[in-house]
Structure 1
Amino acid sequence: MFVQSESLAETPAEQADRLFEVFCTPEPLIEAAEKSMARVEERLSAAAAFRVPFQGGELQAYRFTGAGRGTVVLLHGWTGRAAVMTAFVEPLLAEGFDVLALDFPGHGRSDGDRLHVPLGVGALHALYAATGPWQGVVAHSFGGAVAFSALSDMVGDLAPLTYGRLVLIAAPCSMPRVFDTFARRHEMSPEAALHLKSHVKRLTGHPVEAFMGDEILRQHPIPTLILHAPEDQEVLFLSAEGFASAGDHVTLHPLPGLGHRRILYAKETVQTAVDFLAAQ
């Protein structure tokens, strides 16, 4: 007997609601990636680990104490964790900065099993309440979307955060484009794709079209450095060019040949970011 599949039986709204859960659920790391992650996590042993209350659970954070010049926060990307950002720690400490690294919800040792930009912004506010003010933020990929969104007042009733300088590494500039890419990958109909985007307004009070990094940086002109590999296939270099269009306060520094993830461990990436933060 022919049984109609679940996906064929779904309405566009039902499909969008189901796939939004997929969109917000981090994939587990494969075994090889877990072993690699375990090696870099050893660097966290030099930090003071602490927990931050957040939405009925706790976030995991790490503090490396420097000479009190100011605090720089490190934000990882999707399926990452604090450990992947630790290449920046020793050079920042050498410049006198204190360093904080955070596991986003659903990542590392933080509670939860879901993550999206509004949730990430809320987590950043929780960390700021416990540790602010901050001199700078260094953010990779998804973490960059959280970092620039947190500069705005577009996530519920959360006030804009402020930090002296911002470094965005391989970060997406256009949240509408992120949703469009996801919708194409899952062969969603135009109606379903539209409903998928409606979840952003439900969570933040603003449409997804408002979450454009170039426009937010234009409205909040803090000194910003963009580091991006032109051949990056996970987040296209088009995003870097978009950020750079925000104004003269944004500096674009292409890093050819480093891809989307290797860029985090390259000496040029780390040194360029640290020099930029230390110039303030």
Structure 2
Amino acid sequence: VQELCRAGYQAVVMDAPSHGQSPGRFLSVPDYIRCAGQLIRSRAHWHAVLAHSMGSLAGVISASEQAGKVRIGKFVLMSTFSNCDALMSKFARCLGVSETVLSDTRAWIPKYTGKPLSYFCLIEHLQQLGPPNTLLVADEKDIVVPHQETKAILNALPHVKPIITSGLGHNLRCDTVRRQVLNFITP
């Protein structure tokens, strides 16, 4: 954020409910999409949208829902899942959630959202956007987002420019990555 501001850009940072400093105890992907949509709708044009992890999935779907009303020049997607089902499956395994509960959750999502689980797919929504100028940053040893998620995105979307690291994990904190992202965003 500081580097973008020094380069003359205005950075708008979203702290999703139940993340970072925001209050709350629960945040679903559909709720995250609604929050991101409110922010995206606040301007007619965004030079770039940078998002991390679940925020990338929510940000792309929100942008797709605003297509034609809001223009986004570039996306930087970091450590992200290709779809909500993959995200749910990973976290269910990490938390020890049974397959029965996961199956019931999959069946409940359309009732909760009015949309099938397949709607919550980063790949499909990014394709619908045009395809926008997109950078995908991922670490092949990320223990949160399996590397096959990165491969699925890159295989489905050959226009996406990858930065693949090794050993940075889910947070991707590194001066080299920061410079590469800034070079992508700034002309």
- Same topology, TM > 0.5: yes
TM-score by length of 2: 0.86
Determine which of 129, 135, 139 is the counterpart of 1:225: 135
Q: CA deviation at 1:132?
A: 4.7
Q: Which residue identity lines up with residue 49 of structure 2 in the other structure?
A: V
Q: CA deviation at 1:124?
A: 1.5
Structure-2 change in CA distance of 1:98 and 1:238 (3 Å): same
1:100 lines up with 2:12 in the alignment: yes
Q: CA deviation at 1:208?
A: 1.5
* Kept in 2: contact 1:228–1:240 (CA 8 A): yes
* Kept in 1: contact 2:57–2:121 (CA 8 A): no
Q: Which residue identity lines up with residue 215 of structure 1 in the other structure?
A: E
* Structure 1 residues without counterparts, runs of 5 or longer: 1-88, 154-158
Which residue of structure 2 aligns with residue 135 of structure 1?
A: 47
Aligned alpha-carbon RMSD (Å): 2.1
Highest RCO, 1 vs 2 (Cα 8 Å, sep ≥ 6): 2
Q: CA deviation at 1:254?
A: 0.5
Q: Which residue identity lines up with residue 260 of structure 1 in the other structure?
A: H
* Kept in 1: contact 2:40–2:63 (CA 8 A): no
Is the radius of gyration larger for structure 1 or structure 2? Answer: 1
Structure-2 change in CA distance of 1:268 and 1:199 (3 Å): farther
Q: Which residue identity lines up with residue 179 of structure 2 in the other structure?
A: Q
* Kept in 1: contact 2:80–2:145 (CA 8 A): yes
Partner Cα distance (2:39, 2:153) in 1: 25
Deviations 1:188-222 (A, max 9, x none): 244x3222013332333222123222222222211
Partner Cα distance (1:175, 1:216) in 2: 12
Tell me the percent identity: 25
SS, match of residue 139 in structure 1: strand
Q: CA deviation at 1:234?
A: 0.8
* Structure 2 residues without counterparts, runs of 5 or longer: none
Determine which of 69, 84, 98 is the counterpart of 1:188: 98
Which residue of structure 1 aligns with residue 179 of structure 2?
A: 271
Determine which of 122, 127, 149 is the counterpart of 1:213: 122
TM-score by length of 1: 0.59
Partner Cα distance (1:99, 1:239) in 2: 28
